[in-house]
Structures are given as structure tokens and as C-alpha cells.
Amino acid sequence: MRKSPRLLLLEHYRTHARSLPWRAPPGTNALPDPYHVWLSEVMLQQTTVATVTPRFAAFLERWPTVEAMAAVPLEDVLSQWAGLGYYARARNLHACAVEVAARGGFPDSEAELRALPGIGDYTAAAVAAIAFGRDAVVVDTNVERVVARYFAIRRPVKDARPEIRRRAAYFYEDVDSGEMAQALMDLGATICRPATPDCAACPLSASCAALASGEPASIPPKPPKKARPERHGTAFVIEKDSAIFLTRRPTKGVLGGMAALPGTDWQDGPAPAGGAPAIRHVFTHFALTLAVESRDVPPAGTEGWWQPKDRLDEAGLPTLYKKALAAFAEREHTPTLLP
């Protein structure tokens, strides 16, 4: 009797599963800590496993439980998050921790999880299935690609999501949802890769419609790229007594609540020609040209603090401002301001 594609995939996963610190060993029926699953899923949004793994360990070392995270100010979480990008995740992470701690733990159903701050459909399904053993159809970007190829769905993912989710339910029939979710995620991350799928190593190759078509890498098709809007602004480097003046970004918006160099508001459009030396930083939805200028005193009315230069790494500056300080130090031929 031929084994079903679902069984072939699960057998492959149990043999080849990635060893990740937030997982329980496959095939053991053990359930991982819901706090670990939730934290890893939030951190992995738009961020690679290689980047997340050491940062996940650092978060757990500092806050080993969700109650410990809930007990600290938001600014501490933002500082620890620095460099991971998409900073709304950090704000939602703290808000969710506060709510979970107040209710005495994570709920175990998709519906209740979805009601928590920052938890959408995917994260709710993933935590319910992986941490609590609930039946759920878990679909992330890797799973979307695997499903689109397996069923040869020849439309961009953003246009085909309802069909992809409907088709994905096939893989979750009569199996452990948490284990299947991780099997599909691993398959998409290591074998069914975006540009170079390793079809020869895939346990689903015998029944994959994209492979049968002869052009698996062309499925799903990529939508045409849109040009990113341009913005520009200025950051001020203000030094006094071996310290740098820092402020905090507005709570809402890009880099919300993060430590920052003071400066002008960011304006739409390309930077004017002939301005101060600048750096360029690309966000998800726009590109920013940020001029970097030296100032003697903080702008009038700007709230902030003086951060010792030898403790700048403790301020939690996001990558944008680290780049600005590095460019300023290089231009002024001064020792680097960051470790």
C-alpha cells in the first residue's frame, strides 16, 4: 500500500527536522512551552531563523517567563528588540505579555489567542497547534509556497491566499496539526525554497503538480515590484562630556517608541541636492535618505537624555541610527561611537 503524501512528509520531518530552541523533539508528543512558541513566532515574522535564534536566547535569559516580560517597562523590551526591525512587533509583544500575565497564562484556542494584542490568524493557529495540540490549519509564507507548488496554483500568493488556505487543509487532515505545521515550514525553508527548490530531496515530489509541470521555481509567480517611495530628513549628533543626546521616537509610526537621534521630521520626496552628508536606509514601504549633522545643543523643546558613549550599546538604538553614528564617526575621523 502506497503511503500518503502526508505520511511521507511527516516521516521526512521526523528524520530531518531542524533543531530549534523553541521546538519540542518531533515524534515525541511533547508540547513546548507556549511562551517559547509565541515569542519565537513573533520574532520570526519577517526575520530569518539565523537572526532570531541568538536573540531568542537573549530574550529568555533576560525574561524567562511571560510574567517577567510583563513586569518591565515597554522601553526595556524595545531596547532588547533593537536591530530586529518591524518595531510594532516589540510594542505588541509587551502589550500581549501584560495581558497574558494578567489572565494567568496563554489561552489555548485560536479564537482566544487571536484576541490578544499583536496576534493574527497565523500566529494564533501556530500557537494553538504547536503549543496546545489543537487542530488548526497553520499557513505561513513557507507553507503558502509549498501548497501553491504542490497544487500548481499559478497566481501570486497575495491574490491566491483564500485558495491556498483551502488547499492547505488537505495536509492537516487526520494528523497532528502542530507537527504537520512544522513539517511544512521546514520543507519550505530547506527544500521547497523560493528560487532554487531541491525537488530531488522532496518527500512530496512524486505528487507535486509544480514539479510535473517542469518549472517548479516559477510557481507561485512573483507580482511585479513596485518602486518604493522616497523620504528624507536630518539627524543631529549632539555631544557633551563623553555623552550623546538621545531622544525617543513617537509611540506610533515607524520605529515607534525606539531610542533615536533627535532630528527633523521625515518628508516625502527625494533629498534635496547639495545637502549634508547622508546615509540611506530602506524600510519595507519606503526608502529614507537621512542627513547627519553635528549640533551643539538639543533642539528647543526636545525631551531626551545624555547617553554615555561607552554605554551606547545599552540604549537600544535601531539600525538606522547606528548607521548614522557610524557614518558620522567615519566622516569626523573620530573613534567609532558604537561597539
Q: Which of 11, 41, 99, 314 is catalytic?
A: 41
Residue 210, helix vs strand vs coil: helix
Alpha-carbon gap, residue 140 to 122, rounded angstroms: 6
Is the Cβ–Cβ distance between 151 and 211 less than 8 Å? no
Alpha-carbon gap, residue 12 to 144, rounded angstroms: 19
Place of cell 558604537: 338
Cis bond upstream, residue 262 (ω within 30): no
Place of cell 497564562: 105
Please write down the long-range contacts of 147-150, taking CB distance under 8 Å and 24 or more positions apart: 147/171, 147/184, 148/210, 148/219, 148/220, 149/192, 149/197, 149/208, 149/209, 149/210, 149/211, 149/216, 149/219, 149/220, 150/5, 150/204, 150/207, 150/208, 150/209, 150/210
Is 67 labeled as catalytic in the residue annotation? no
Q: Which three cell numbers stand for residue 226?
A: 513596485
CA angle, 183 as apex, 159 and 173 as ends, to 5°? 75
What's the N-to-C CA distance of the chain in angstroms? 61
Is the Cβ–Cβ distance between 271 and 288 less than 8 Å? no
The conformation of residue 263, written as its DSSP 8-state character, comes to B
Hey, which residues are catalytic here? 41
